[in-house]
Amino acid sequence: MTSGTRIGILGGTFDPVHLGHVETALAAARALALDRVLLLPSGVPPHRRAPVASRFHRFAMTALAVTGVEPLAASDVEIGEPGPSYSYDTLARLQASGMDASQLFFITGADAFAEIATWSRYPDVLDMAHFVVISRPGCAAADLPRLLPTLASRMTTPVAIADEPRQRRIMLVDARTPDVSSTEIRRRLETGSAIGGLVPDLVARYIEQHGLYSRVGAMNRAADHLHG
């Protein structure tokens, strides 16, 4: 990446990736004029149960979700790591690769950021990049100064970032994003229900082709393992 390039980072289990993830990344890109937004599927999620789909399927779905969607791209920086994918460690690896912390923008939903005190290496993780917090259904970014009063002095609007580019800020972005969850998508697929309008079309096609998340697909994979 060239000097001065503003890079957004959106991590997640992406099991599967859905339109809520895509729209969150795009909302951050618009609000901060980001040159690139990298979607990083985690190898081993630190705060969730083991993913249903393999890391390879989740990376493939993420790559398909951002195909032709500027300025989004998929990154494998976490997917190959054997241990938990902690945000602090990921940002440290990105900085070690030559990215300037002042040009890194870590994107997260307001609901997840409300639990920031439980994150690994808190509060140090907040100094590893600017944080971009996007409103999520049921949790508005504007509520965070009240919910997290000790961090309120670091919170600002996206336009204010030009004033102090070297100081890490928490930027609150009030944008509408689809009320979609991977849990609900998996539930629908398990019961044979449609997922149209919840995931990008290429992702829906990939899920169908590989029988992901369906009971029939799970039974077939188990049979392949037994007879492997």
Question: Using CA atoms, how far apart are residues 64 and 55, in angstroms rounded to an integer?
Answer: 14
- Count, residues in the chain: 228
Question: Using CA atoms, how far apart are residues 79 and 83, in angstroms rounded to an integer?
Answer: 10
Contact yes or no for 155/167 (Cβ under 8 A): no
Extract the tokens encoding 197.
């309008």
What is the amino acid identity at position 193?
Answer: S
Q: What ranges do the domains of the chain cover?
A: 7-173, 182-226
CATH class of 7-173: alpha beta
Per residue of the chain (228 residues), give pLDDT as tens.
Answer: 455 789 999 999 999 999 999 999 999 999 999 999 999 999 988 877 889 999 999 999 999 999 999 999 999 999 988 888 899 999 999 999 999 988 999 999 999 999 999 999 999 999 999 999 999 989 999 999 999 999 999 999 886 555 555 679 999 999 999 999 999 999 999 999 999 999 999 999 999 999 999 875 444 444 334 334
Calculate Rg over the CA atoms of the chain.
18
